[in-house]
Structure 1
Amino acid sequence: MSTGVRKVVTVVEEVLLELGRPVATPVRRVAVAAVLRNPWAGRGFVADLQPEVEAVAPELAQLLTGKLIDALGGADRVEAFGKAAVVGLDGEIEHGGALIHTPYFGNVLRELTEGTSIIVFSDDRLPAGEPLTVPLWHKKAAATRSHYQTVQIRVPDAPRPDELVVIAAAASGPRPNARIGDRRTDPAVRLADLEKLETAR
């Protein structure tokens, strides 16, 4: 690949029981990570990151999203999504952000998964082998609380100091046994209302 991807790691989990209770619809969560050399490694402070973003980010997005969709059984099986980047110790946090926080990555991921929401994310600078928790939310209705969840991934030998790990993640449904409502059913809650409740107790 022109992106210089060293390896791809896929983590798949399927939740069947929660607190010993069968889950009505088992939820599959997937995270796919690409390990690649940081294109800005060894160059000091690079003011303009755009050329590498345009060259690398779309190819990464297509690679990772294709594997996500395959693992879930089709774009229509993706209900929630997220993205993340881990920067090796010799890189800038901005290097990870450059590869996931622009339309060259996000718009490709969103289009291929048939989503419309902004994509929730996490990023960090970590030594090799440290886990990263990737948040997910609904691909078309980000405020849908039932789909707020996470998936964790670690690559034992990455990122090396001059590498990046770029991650796309998705879930086939909501949290197991989700039952805390959403903004359509929430009461109006203000500090004054909470103070009245406390006084009543």
Structure 2
Amino acid sequence: MRRLTKLSRFAKTKLGILSIGLVLILLSSVAFISTQGKSSLYAIEDSRIIISGTGGTHWELDANSFPYQGEFIVNNGDLESIENVSFEVPINWLQSNDIQMEELVKGLFLENNCHRITFQQRHGMVLPIMKMIHLVGELGLASSPQSMAFQANYRQQNKSELLFESKQEINLSDFGIQIPADKQQLIDDKVEVKVQIKLVKNTIL
């Protein structure tokens, strides 16, 4: 009889340990899922590039919805990582309200064998507190791609959208684009390249 009692107590003890173990496993699973659920993958919905400069007057050309790729992971509104950013903008896609300047600038690019503007990320660093990104990559125009660092900012538009903007001043001559003497009063060598990207939440990891 005592032996049966001991066996009963032993069985209850083992059952209790097993139950506690199962509860701990379930709690661990819930914590894991909850933690992972905070990070979201964002997809690129829209893109815009603006090339601007001065000379005789301020001019600006832009292009929308050009091919842009990248991997963005966001956690509670903060960008955690940015990888494999690249884009390609055909020069013929650039447009301006000033048709004369549009033809002049695009003609200058094409005459210097620059048919597209490209970028390929090599390194990236995210500063979530400052909502800033430091991108290092290769920017290509007419000549071979040149190493270039872009400073970018981002902000959360709403719970499902993130706006990303980077800009950098460059010298056209550094990229093999030479401005003829008769056009130097109209177009300066220094121009600004601005890229704007709209990201939309895609998949919960």
The two structures have a TM-score, normalised by structure 1, of: 0.36
Instruction: Report the structure, 1 or 2, having the larger strand content.
Output: 2
Higher RCO (CA 8 Å, separation ≥ 6 residues): 1
